[in-house]
Structure 1
C-alpha cells in the first residue's frame, strides 16, 4: 500500500515534527472534522519508521492536549508497516474552530493555511451547523435493538409527543430523522444500538477521595439502557431511611430520585461524544457525583438556567429531541432547574461545577458540607449529631430476610436478591461494621442475629 498525503491524511517522518503535526490536526479538524496522521512515514510516502516507547505515546497525547483548544482526544496506536514501527493517530471533533498554539489554520490540499480574522469569523458561523450526531454511523439497521425502539415509541405515544406507531425499523428510524438515505446517523447508534462505544464508569469509594474503592464497574449499552442501569446502581448504593405514614411504611432516599434521574439524562444528553472518555458516577463518603464530558456553554453559568430564563443550548439536538419525545426530558432548558428544585424541597445540597474537562453535578450527603471556596446553590443542611447509620435499599432487604431466616446462607441471599455473592458479602460486612448484624457461631453451623 502506498501512503500519500491528502486533505484528511498527514504524514510525518518522526515525532521531531510534532509541532507541525499538531498544526495539521487543527487544520484538518477545521476543514473536515476528522482525519488521520502517521509518524514514521515521509511526506512522499517512504516508510522510515521510528523508535517508540510508552513514554513516546504519552508525550504525544499530552502535547496535543496542551496545544490544541478546544481539547482533542485522538486514538493513538503503534503500527507495524513494512516491518517498521510507526505511530497512527485517528482524530475527530466538531467544536470549531480549533486553535493550534493560539492560531487557527485551515487545510487546503496538503497545506495548512493560517486563517485571517474574516475567515475565522466564517468558521465561528460554521460551528453552529456541525454536530457529531449527524455523522454517518458504521452501524446498520440490523444493529438496532428492536425491543428498545418499540418501548420508546410506546412511551412517546403515551406522552403524546409523537403521533405515529412502530411499523418496522427503517420506517420508524426515518420518522425520527435518524437516517440519511439508508444509513444510520451516529445519534441512532447511541440511542438504539447496544454495540457502541458509549459507557459510564461507576464506583463507590471508601472516603472522600479516590484512593480506596469498595465497588467499581463499567456500564455499557444504548442511552435508554444506561439511564436504567445508572438509576439501579444509584438506588442500590444510596442510603435510605424508613418513615411510617398513614398509608404504611415509606422508604425515602438520601437524594431525591427525580433529581438523580434528571442529572443522569442531562449527562447523556449534553456529553461530548467526540471525547472517548466515558461519563462517571461516583459515591464518596460525603457526596455523590455525576460527571459528563460536555463543557458548559461559554459565557453562561448554571444559575442562568436555574434562576433566570435562559433558553436551552443543545450540544446534541437529535439526541435531545428523541429524549424529549419519550418525556425523559420534560421540557427544554429545565434540567438544572428541576434538579435544584427537587433538592431544595428535600433539603439536600447540590452543587454544579464547570470543569475544563466537562461538567459535574455534586449531591452532598446529609451532614456533609462543601469546601468554603466552592460556589453552591443551596444553603447547607446539617444532620443531627447522633444520627443513626442510614442503610441502603439492599441492606434493608438483607435485614428483613435475615430476620425471618437466621440460618440463611450467602448463596441463598444472592439468589433471593438477584445480586452476586460479592455484593451480598460486602453489604453484610457493612451491616456488621455498623453494629446492625452479628454472626453467631461458625459459617457452616452458625446463624445471624439482627441487632
Structure 2
C-alpha cells in the first residue's frame, strides 16, 4: 500500500483521519460506518484540516499492549463483531496507526455508544446514524444470513406435513387474502412463501411445517409449567410441546387456559366470563416468544404460571437495535426470524407494525391489571403478567375511602394525597393519611417519592 499516496487524497468515503486514540467514540463510529458500507481505513496520528486534507502528521506513541487492547475493545463493542487489521506505518518518520476495516457480510454492524447500540453508515467523509427504515432495509438485504432462511441440509419434502401446509394456505387466504390456492403442490407453495432455496428446504420451512422438526432442531420446543405458590420449586403440572411452531403456540395457550381461572360477572343484565389474565395479550406474548426466539440457543420457550403471576420466557435478547425500554412506546418491527415472522403475519399470529407489546399493555390495563413487566433476565426477554394482590377478603376490611383509593389506583396506576382529598371531600387530611398508612401496613400499597413528590402504588 502506498501510504503517502493514499493520505494525499484526503478524507473520503473509505478514508478517515484521527489525531489520537483519545477519539475512541469517533473511531468506533467510523468502524461501524465502514463495516456497513464498502470498508475503509482509519489513520490514527494524523490531524486533518476542515476540508479533510492532511494538516499535520503528529504520530502516535504506542505503549505496551495498546494495539491488542484496541483490537479487544473493538471486538467487545461491535455487533456483528468486527475484526480489523491494525498495524503501525511510518509516515514522515513518525509512527501512525492504520486500522483497516472490511465491509461486513453480516449487516448492520452496531457499536455501543454509552452502552447503547447504534449503527452508522458512511456518506462521503462523514458518519451518519442509520434510521429505522435504513436498518429494516439492510436487515432485509441481509436476509440470506438470517438463521431461519438458511438451508436445512438434511431435510427433504418427505419431512413436510402436506396437510399442515394446506391448512396454512386456507387460513392465510381467509385472514390476509393470500392468493395461493390451498391445493397448490407443496413445493410450489413453499417456493411462493420463500421457504425453499434452490429446491432445498429452509430452517423456517421445517419449523413451520415439519412432521418432526425436533429431529433437526432438538431444542425447538415450548415448555409449560404450573407451579405451587410464587416460586419455581414445586410443580402442579408440567408439559413440553414439540411439533411445528404453529401447533406449539396453540398448545401453549391451551395449557394456560387449563391453569388460569375463568371469572363470571354480571354486566348490566348479561353474564360475562373473563379469564383472570387477558387471553389476547397472553396469546400475543406467546406468539412473539416463539416467532422471535433465537433458535441457535440451546433452551426452550417457557410459560411459567404462579399464584400471583404468569411469565412468558423467550430465548435470547431482543433483536438489535431494540431495547427493553422501547417496548412500552412506539417502535419499529424488527424480526429475528424474517420468514417465520412473515408466515405468522399471514395467519394473524402477529402484526408486522411493532404494535404487539403496546397491545399487550393496553389489554392488561383494560382488564384492570397492572402493566406487564418487560425484562431481560439472563439474556432472555421475559414478559410478566401480574395480578393485583387485592382479594375480596382484603376489600371487606377496607373502609369506603380506601376502596375509592383502590379503584383510582387500578385506573391510574398511582395516587397522591391531593388525589385522595379530591375523591373524599370533607374528610380531614389526617384521616386520609391514616387510611393510606393502614393500607401500607396491610401491604396493599407502597409509598414512593419524597416530600411534595410522594405518591402511592399498588403492590
* TM-score of the aligned structures, taking structure 2 as reference length: 0.54
The CA distance in 2 between the partners of 1:387 and 1:165, in whole Å, is 57
Q: 1:97 and 2:43 equivalent? A: no
| Structure 1 contact 97–123 (Cα < 8 Å) conserved | no
Matched residue, 2:363 = 342
Matched residue, 2:454 = none
Cα gap change, 1:176 to 1:300, in 2 (>3 Å): closer
1:299-310 alignment runs, 5 A limit: 300-308=322-330, 310=331
Deviation at 1:246, TM superposition (A): 6.0
Matched residue, 2:181 = 165
List structure 1 runs of 4+ shifted beyond 4 angstroms. 245-248
Matched position secondary structure for 1:194: coil
The CA distance in 2 between the partners of 1:210 and 1:356, in whole Å, is 16
Matched residue, 1:412 = none
CA deviation profile, 1:268-294 (whole Å, cap 9, x unmatched): 111001112111001112111000113
Matched residue, 1:231 = 253
Unaligned runs of 5+ in 2: 1-74, 86-97, 110-138, 397-459
The CA distance in 2 between the partners of 1:314 and 1:192, in whole Å, is 20
Deviation at 1:163, TM superposition (A): 1.3
Matched position secondary structure for 2:107: helix
Deviation at 1:311, TM superposition (A): 1.1
Match for residue 125 of structure 1 among 100, 107, 110: 107
Matched position secondary structure for 1:294: coil
| Structure 2 contact 226–304 (Cα < 8 Å) conserved | yes
Deviation at 1:305, TM superposition (A): 3.8
Cα gap change, 1:120 to 1:353, in 2 (>3 Å): farther
| Structure 2 contact 171–347 (Cα < 8 Å) conserved | yes
Matched residue, 1:220 = 242
Deviation at 1:231, TM superposition (A): 0.9
Matched residue, 1:256 = 278
Matched residue, 2:343 = 322
1:372-391 alignment runs, 5 A limit: 382-386=390-394
Cα gap change, 1:316 to 1:153, in 2 (>3 Å): same
Matched position secondary structure for 2:176: coil
Cα gap change, 1:238 to 1:143, in 2 (>3 Å): same
Matched residue, 1:185 = 202
Matched residue, 1:44 = none
| Structure 1 contact 280–290 (Cα < 8 Å) conserved | yes
Matched position secondary structure for 2:335: coil
Matched residue, 1:36 = none
What is the count of residue pairs matched by the alignment? 271
* TM-score of the aligned structures, taking structure 1 as reference length: 0.55
Deviation at 1:250, TM superposition (A): 2.9
Matched residue, 2:172 = 156
RMSD: 3.0
1:24-103 alignment runs, 5 A limit: 97=80
Matched position secondary structure for 1:125: coil
- Structure number with bigger Rg: 2
